[in-house]
Chain A
């Protein structure tokens, strides 16, 4: 049957060369879509530049990187699969406490293996809750995920003998990184550590996003009824990505505990879940680098405003959000993309123009 189709395609001879050119253009677009573009180096170069330009602000810098990682995990489920959740902090918190409890109660102070443990534990939690919750969508899911995070927090509160409650587990001590690099007062080691972890996780997330699986997630976001109709195991796909995202959020939480050397139950706060979502939307959802921009812009401004006015700093953040919703519906990254399309030569645009010329009667 496939042979028949190809011969049929070959027989449409009058517009042969044009048709073949159109086919090649289309195929080329899909084939090359996942390749790295030069602009993608920018955020990473910026992260490296910060290391040299602001050597005394690297503790803050590593906190930004942790939030970038957290926002990235949310992007995977919100931006790509379209799962809205207000309980993503649950997994951040589980990761944070896996490492915290490990160090405080069991003497597990090796940092890198701690990250793996946090990934595994948070993934398991993501799998179990995801299996039950991802049958629902929209507002119902929003409430259920919110409830999950609150239940985790209350469970921690109930066993405050273990978790340390809202006073937390202070003064955690971790082994030097890889047995060699000790932590310094200015956070140089932590910054590099967080950046390397972020880069590694980012590589995996990027592969997933551009894989057929990532495409299927986009399909679920775009039209779940159609996905069912073409035979996609939708629930299974959602549970899979939710598990992965939970694991990554767990890594972010573990990094948070390790770089701060303390953890309290506030990691489970609703505010934490909401903040990461705001960051992602501010930066731009479903585009990977939105997590970078959103977390960086949000945290730098939060830092700046809170110094400017310790009581009213949230007004500044609120104003920013209103502006973003009014003028940058696709996030800060969307603004950049628009500017790029306006000033630069957008390849796809050119192709479309060429194509229109070709098909005009």
Chain B
């Protein structure tokens, strides 16, 4: 069976800086993979290369066995590749419901229709409401996104991606910026994703990573440092040195900064 997503020898440089170096990885159908690494390791760049925001200098990206290296973002999205952004990218002036309908409309090609009214297809609205229901957002359906608290906006961010009915889902720090009292809402959603979807999650919280992921890829300075099961990664001394050590160091600094 072909992997849902395959990345082969991917390279990308900005000038003399190699931000992605010879990355090879693959996600099987239903994969639960975490991408970790210190700040500036190139995690978001890798997501941008996979989704087509950036073009790689060399290497290939395959989606369900199809070479999409030169495809546009939109083509990849229609092929079943969805993502969330580290910083919310939402239609802030529209209601939550309209945000979801937008994704469904683009997925089904409805949004090319200039003649019938946007509300005429009840199936689209019902499906959007189902998505909102599963994330407990129905009560906010008519509120403008910009009026929602940030944590709820993060949920909308995920809801849009899910409304695309993706086969591969890339989550870029889904709980970033959310107070810890609310982050469990988002992490519950992540934990209960459709088992058929291949998920790649970028996350800094090690508890989340070890709970969620069945496979972990450690990225350091743009290259795959090592990969393996959570157990292997946890017991890997090198990873502790470059990443977990770094994390501890960061935590100390953060603590100091807040005081």
Interface residues of A, Cβ cutoff 8 Å to B: 1-2, 5-6, 8-9, 12, 19, 22-23, 25-27, 29-34, 207-208, 210-216, 218-219, 222-223, 225-234, 237, 348, 351-352, 355, 358-359
Asked if B186 is an interface residue, CB under 8 A from chain A, the answer is no
Bitwise interface map of B from 113 to 152 toward A, beta carbon under 8 Å scored 1, else 0: 1111111101001110111011000110111000000000
Would A34 and B107 count as touching, CB distance under 8 A?
no
Whether the Cβ atoms of A229 and B77 lie closer than 8 Å is yes
Q: Which residues of B sit under 8 angstroms from A6, Cβ to Cβ? A: 130
Q: Which of A30, A33, A207, A215 is B111 in contact with, Cβ under 8 Å?
A: A215
Q: Which residues of A contact B29 (CB under 8 A)?
A: none
**Do residues B105 and A29 form an inter-chain contact, with CB atoms below 8 A?**
no
Contact B119 A26 (CB under 8 A): no
Give the interface size bracket for B toward A.
35 or more
Assembled-state Cα–Cα distance A19/B139 (Å):
8
B90 within 8 A of A: yes
Contact among A12, A23, A218, A234 for B74, CB-based, below 8 A: A234
Are A225 and B117 closer than 8 Å at their CB atoms?
A: no
Residue of chain B at shortest CB distance from A4: B194
| In-complex Cβ contact of B94 among A8, A214, A218, A359 (8 A) | A218
A-chain residues with CB within 8 Å of residue B53 when the two chains form the complex: 228
Q: Is the CB of B105 within 8 A of A216?
A: yes
- Supply 16 A–B pairs (Cβ within 8 Å), ascending by A: A5-B131, A9-B133, A26-B125, A30-B98, A30-B101, A32-B119, A208-B114, A212-B111, A213-B112, A226-B90, A226-B91, A229-B51, A229-B77, A232-B111, A352-B142, A352-B143
| Chain B residue with the shortest CB-CB distance to A32 | B119
- Residues from chain B with a CB closer than 8 A to the CB of A19 are 133, 138
Return the CB mask of B65-83 against A: 1 if under 8 Å, else 0.
0000000111111100011
Give chain B's interface residues, CB within 8 Å of chain A.
Answer: 51, 53, 72-78, 82-83, 85, 89-95, 97-98, 101-103, 105-107, 110-120, 122, 125-127, 129-131, 133-134, 138-139, 141-143, 160, 164-165, 194
User: Which residue of chain A is the closest to B114 with respect to CB atoms?
Assistant: A213
With A225-B89, A228-B74 in contact, do A212 and B138 touch (Cβ < 8 Å)? no
Contacts of B82 in A (CB 8 A): 229-230
A-B contact count (CB 8 A): 158
Q: A223-B90, A230-B164 are in contact. Are A359 and B115 (CB under 8 A)?
A: no
Contact of A230 among B77, B125, B142 (CB under 8 A): B77
Does A222 contact B101, Cβ atoms closer than 8 Å? Answer: no
A212 and B105 contacting across the interface, CB-CB below 8 Å: yes
Q: With A1-B194, A211-B113 in contact, do A22 and B73 touch (Cβ < 8 Å)?
A: no
* Closest-CB distance, B117 to chain A (whole angstroms): 4
Instruction: Provide the bound-state CA to CA distance between A215 and B113, in Å.
Output: 10
- State A153–B114 Cα separation when bound (angstroms): 33
Q: A27-B126, A226-B90 are in contact. Are A211 and B115 (CB under 8 A)?
A: yes
Given contact pairs A207-B115, A232-B111, enumerate 14 new A-B contacts (beta carbons under 8 Å): A9-B130, A19-B138, A23-B133, A26-B97, A29-B142, A30-B118, A215-B105, A219-B94, A222-B90, A226-B89, A227-B106, A229-B85, A230-B107, A348-B142
Contacts of B142 in A (CB 8 A): 25-26, 29, 348, 351-352, 355
Contact A231 B106, CB 8 Å, known A26-B129, A27-B125, A351-B142: yes
| Contact (Cβ within 8 A) B130 A22 | no
Chain B contacts for A234, CB-based, 8 A: 74
A213 engages B138 (CB within 8 Å): no
A232 to chain B, nearest CB (A): 5
* B118 partner, pick from A1, A210, A232, A352, beta carbons under 8 A: A210
Write out the residue numbers on chain B whose beta carbons fall within 8 Å of the beta carbon of A1. 165, 194
A23 to B138, CA, bound (A): 7
Q: How far is the CA of A355 from the CA of B139 in the complex (A)?
A: 7
CB–CB A222/B91 < 8 A:
yes
A355 to B138, CA, bound (A): 11
Which residues of B lie under 8 Å from residue A219 when comparing CB positions?
91, 94, 102
Complex alpha-carbon distance, A231 and B90, angstroms: 14
